[in-house]
Copies of this chain bind each other. A is one copy, B any other.
Amino acid sequence: MDQKITTLAALTQHYRPQIEAELTRILDHESTEQTLQQSLRYSLLAGGKRIRPLLTLATLLTCDETITEERLQASVAVEMIHTYSLIHDDLPAMDDSDYRRGKLASHKQFGEAQAILTGDGLLTDAFSVLATSGLPANQIIELVDRLALAAGSRGMVAGQVIDMEATGLQLSLVELQDLDRKKTGALFHYSVLAGAIMANVTENQRQHLADFAGKFGLAFQIYDDLMDEQAGTDEDEGKNSYAHLLGRNQAQQVLQETIAEGESALDAVPHADLLRSFLTYFKG
């Protein structure tokens, strides 16, 4: 069955329900404190696309590995980190967004204090999910190290601080790329790397997968900026974005180039149709 999955759509259809089930199972073992349990559930089961765990699973399948229970559990830790980052991003002191995924943001639904704590809880619990996954010890340790590095003050958190400081200023293209590599790219990079770590691939193979992850992350951000510009969100607040910096047409062109580079990065990876299909995400 697994061998036949060669598209993001098929992967999503088969594995998203398993990811949802895994997140639900994890939540059942989380806090017995009722309102906290409620707010964890509210944000974590809000129906995201689960693109990060899907990237991990796709990398495993690309390396001809099976999706065991241990690997499925480990794959969702990054989704918990992603969800915490959205909750904290939406806070009044940060992006001050009232809505997320068509529902009230956590702080509008549960109040600011509980939203901060819910984010803190998800962030912390993600490491528990890795530690108790039952994977080989060396893999757990590398996953913990890489996830903390991607999400922490050398990764996503640094990207957020740079983004905040740059609001209202005009970044150069190089600066914007550095910002995005940290702010959104680091978790995508981790997601692919997590699959490579669990598949125990060669250093050479890992490098090709990392290159793909970097291009995927960059394409994701440009695409996201273009969507936001279309919807008319980010620009008012002086947020830096590719659409803003390059103009719509040139941003579109850089996106197409980045997609092509992502495809090239996979040339040296056998049976990479499934990972390649992730790039079609940006073509619609």
Minimum Cβ distance to chain B for residue A45 (Å): 15
Q: Is the CB of B137 within 8 A of A125?
A: no
CB of A277 within 8 Å of the partner chain: no
Q: Is the CB of A88 within 8 A of B114?
A: no
Contacts of A113 in B (CB 8 A): 91, 93-94, 164
Q: Is the CB of A31 within 8 A of B164?
A: no
Q: Is the CB of B148 within 8 A of A125?
A: yes
Query: Which residues of A (135-176) have their CB < 8 Å from a CB of B?
Result: 137-138, 140-142, 144-145, 147-149, 151-154, 157-158, 160-162, 164-165
A35 CA to B162 CA in the complex, in Å? Answer: 9
Contacts of A70 in B (CB 8 A): none
Residue in B94, B130, B131 whose beta carbon sits within 8 Å of that of A116 in the complex: B94
* Residue from A125, A126, A144, A161 with most neighbouring chain B CB atoms (10 Å): A161
Residue of B nearest to A37 (CB): B153
Contacts of A88 in B (CB 8 A): 116-117, 120
Residue of B nearest to A119 (CB): B120
Q: Mask for A32-59, Cβ within 8 A of B = 1, else 0? A: 1101100010000000000000000000
Given the known interface contacts A123-B124, A137-B138, the answer about A153 and B30 at a Cβ–Cβ threshold of 8 Å is: yes
CB of A188 within 8 Å of the partner chain: no
A residues contacting B by CB (< 8 A) are 30-33, 35-36, 40, 84, 88, 91, 93-94, 111-114, 116-128, 130-132, 137-138, 140-142, 144-145, 147-149, 151-154, 157-158, 160-162, 164-165
Given contacts A31-B154, A93-B111, A127-B147, 8 further A-B contacts (CB under 8 A): A84-B120, A88-B120, A114-B161, A119-B120, A121-B157, A123-B124, A124-B153, A137-B138
**Shortest 3 CB-CB distances between A and B: which pairs?**
A121-B153, A124-B152, A93-B112
